[in-house]
Amino acid sequence: MARIPYPEKDEVTKKVRKLTDPNNRLNILRMMSRAGNIADAFATFAFEILAGGTLNPVLREMAILRVGYLSGSDYEVFYHEGMIRRLKVGEDKIRAIREEINSPLLSETERLVLEITDQIVHHVKMDDRQFERLHALLSQKDAMELVMAISFYMMACRFLENYEIDLDDEKKQ
């Protein structure tokens, strides 16, 4: 159960009022609407990461899911396991993302993405060798999108965990 109540429409600014509707919004956005315009910017940034870039969506989701696992965020894991399954990633590979990033089921690029995710989550900065390998395998734009996705979802997980955001009611079933 969330640590504070989700806001009602009359408790938030007009600009983010649309985020408080429990029938069509994610609980993370409902709770975040208490922060005002930052919530709107958060939602826009999340959409751009998920739909506005050129990074391979499987690589993106692998990194986001790994952030969720490392952060212990059930909410993030729930949603992004669903998203990666919709991208036709099988259960064995999902288990490797969670438990064994050196698995032979993963390609060299996939292993590197997960290694870099671990490095950023645990140590803030990837090492020079990882940086060079990443830029040899991905375009500069895609490499930057990857680092931004990892960083953004670290923030999202920390918000989710600190406010103990509930899974959305219809998703629990």
Q: Looking at the predicted structure, is the pLDDT value of residue 70 above 90? A: yes
pLDDT in tens, 2-35: 999 999 888 888 888 888 776 667 899 999 999 9
CA distances from 82 to 66, 86, 91, 157 (A): 14, 6, 11, 16
Question: Between residues 11 and 130, which one has the greater pLDDT?
Answer: 130
Q: Are 117 and 67 in contact (CB under 8 A)?
A: yes
- pLDDT tens digit string along 93-105? 999 999 999 999 9
Report the pLDDT value the prediction gives residue 173, as an integer from 0 to 100. Answer: 43
Residue of higher predicted confidence among 12 and 64: 64
Could you tell me how far CA 71 lies from the centroid of its own chain?
Answer: 10
Residue 50 reports pLDDT greater than 60: yes
171 pLDDT more than 60: no
* Domains of the chain: residue spans and CATH: 1-52 (no CATH), 55-163 (1.20.1290.10)
Q: What is the model's pLDDT at position 149? A: 98
- At 72-92, the pLDDT tens digits run 999 999 999 999 999 999 999
Q: pLDDT tens digit string along 144-170?
A: 999 999 999 999 999 999 999 999 765
Neighbour count for residue 38 (Cβ, 10 Å): 12
List, as one string, the DSSP characters of 127-160: -HHHHHHHHHHS-HHHHHHHHHHHHHHHHHHHHH
Is 62 in contact with 48 (CB distance < 8 Å)?
no
Residue 144 token pair: 């930057």
Let me know: does 7 contact 165? Beta carbons within 8 Å: no
- In angstroms, the CA 139 to CA 129 distance is 16
Token readout for 152 is 């953004």
**pTM, entire model:** 0.93
Evaluate whether 70 touches 121 at the Cβ level (below 8 Å).
yes
